[in-house]
Structure 1
């Protein structure tokens, strides 16, 4: 009962927190549904975050491979953070259905390359963070369908100098 005044306060200001079975924290505001699953030693994308999640924080986990249609249920996602997740591979259709995504962070993952057209479903993507990834090349077809991309953050160039 000690937490009741605090929960009431959060509800009054428009934030409704809860904790999911996989220990992800969910915060609801009038405009956003934020599911924070960072640093939970996850090896796969959680399925119990709400389907109307707008911000999904998965950084500092052990995801390694992002499988096809991994984010299918998250059709309202606008922000996706996959930094420091040991990602080595992202399937061609992993980002299908993420048509509202504005920002994607793949910082500090040991990927060697992107599959061609990997970002094609992300028609509204504006910001991409790929700094400190071990990419040997950045295929030109990866960018061809991302019409609204305004910022690509990278602190290292591809090992062979190819940024198509």
Structure 2
């Protein structure tokens, strides 16, 4: 009995420190977790989804104490006007970034270079006027990009070259007048494009993009109305509904421009040409920067839908013409046969008509003698 009580005493003596150690470890782990995802002051955070929401607080700068493992950062409806270069350098795990409804007027070239996992970028309703062509070169996983309600007057060529996964793009309510199809050809996964509410000029500069829009719609993409502003004859009309015959003069302008270039040739192109050997020693002359070889244009396929429509219309017209020719030939044959039959009947009736005329003359002579 004494032995059992002694064992019980030793068990209680060693179990109490063990329980205290477990509680202390749990407390330390909770503190470490809270410090690992410490929410910035005045912002709302969700530890389960790793979301930081600093929207509608009137902030003019992004907090510097955003947790490094943040996946969603919302900064809507604030007074943000500038973005320092390294502001997102520690947020490599970020997947969603929303900076809508702020006062941003320009974006630094390397502002998104550290966001390799970014899939959604919202820049709606700002004052962005220009975009650098290398702005999105490190965001290959981007699937949604919203640049609507800004002051963009043009989209630089090459800005979408590194976005093969982009699924949705919005350029609504900007100051765009024309677009180049070469800029949008790398977007092989694009399914939805919004370009409405822009002052589009439906001239030769938009002709090639019209071809791309038709091809994009043919492969199942969705695009809203691209309503023309100029010229006045096409105001309010969707560019896709404008017939291609209205752009025939563009080819004439291109021919005239090419003839002007041939009439006034510039210095010869020296790119890739072997340099002649020099006998005299001396400093090499510098090549003028204006002497640049013209870049070869990329192949631009014709609209498949327009080609199929042309073939169908041509087939229908040829069929109608053939049917009309067959009907005309049948009508001519029937008419010829009827006329031949009529002439035969007429020849048969001529002798009978001559006999009746002789009998009438004899009767007249007898009546006169009587």
Indicate how the Cα distance of structure 1 residues 157 and 20 shifts in structure 2: closer, same or farther if over 3 A, else same: closer
List per-residue Cα deviations over 1:97-141 (Å, max 9, x = no partner).
Answer: 100000000001111111121011111000001111111111122
Q: Secondary structure at the match of 1:96?
A: coil
What is the deviation of 1:158? 3.9
Q: What is aligned with 2:94?
A: 77
Q: Distance in 2 between matches of 1:55 and 1:79?
A: 5
Q: 1:113-128 alignment to 2 at 5 Å? A: 113-128=130-145
Q: Distance in 2 between matches of 1:101 and 1:19?
A: 21
2:116 pairs, out of 93, 99, 105, with 99
Aligned to 1:46: 63
Is the alpha carbon distance of 1:51 and 1:18 closer, same or farther for their aligned partners in structure 2, counting shifts above 3 Å? closer
Q: TM-score, normalised by structure 2?
A: 0.37
Does the alignment pair 1:33 with 2:53? Answer: no
Change (3 A) 1:146 1:158: farther
> Given the two structures, how large is their TM-score scaled by the length of structure 1?
0.81
CA distance in 2, matches of 1:35, 1:126: 21
Is the Cα–Cα contact under 8 Å of residues 33 and 52 in structure 1 kept in the other structure? Answer: yes
Deviates further, 126-135 or 63-72? 63-72
Q: Classify the secondary structure of the residue corresponding to 1:141.
A: coil
How many residue pairs get aligned? The number is: 145
The match for 1:159 is 176
**Equivalent residues of 1:138, 1:158 under 8 A apart:** no
State the distance in 2 between where 1:50 and 1:114 align.
28
> Is 1:146 equivalent to 2:163 in the alignment?
yes
The structure carrying a bigger strand percent of its residues is: 1
- Following superposition, which runs of at least 4 residues in structure 1 exceed 6 angstroms of deviation? none
Aligned to 2:348: none
| Aligned 8 A contact 1:18 1:27 in 2 | no
Task: Report if aligned partners of 2:150, 2:174 keep a CA contact under 8 Å in 1.
Answer: no
Deviations 1:26-69 (A, max 9, x none): 1111xx30000111222222111211000000111111122213
1:20 aligns with 2:37: no
Whose Rg is larger?
2
By how many angstroms is 1:162 displaced?
Answer: 3.3
**What is the CA-CA distance between 1:77 and the residue it aligns to?**
0.3
> Contact conserved, 2:80 with 2:102, CA < 8 A, in 1?
yes
8 Å Cα contact 1:69/1:95 also seen in 2: no
Question: Contact conserved, 1:82 with 1:107, CA < 8 A, in 2?
Answer: yes
Q: Secondary structure at the match of 1:140?
A: coil
5+ long unaligned stretches in structure 1:
1-16
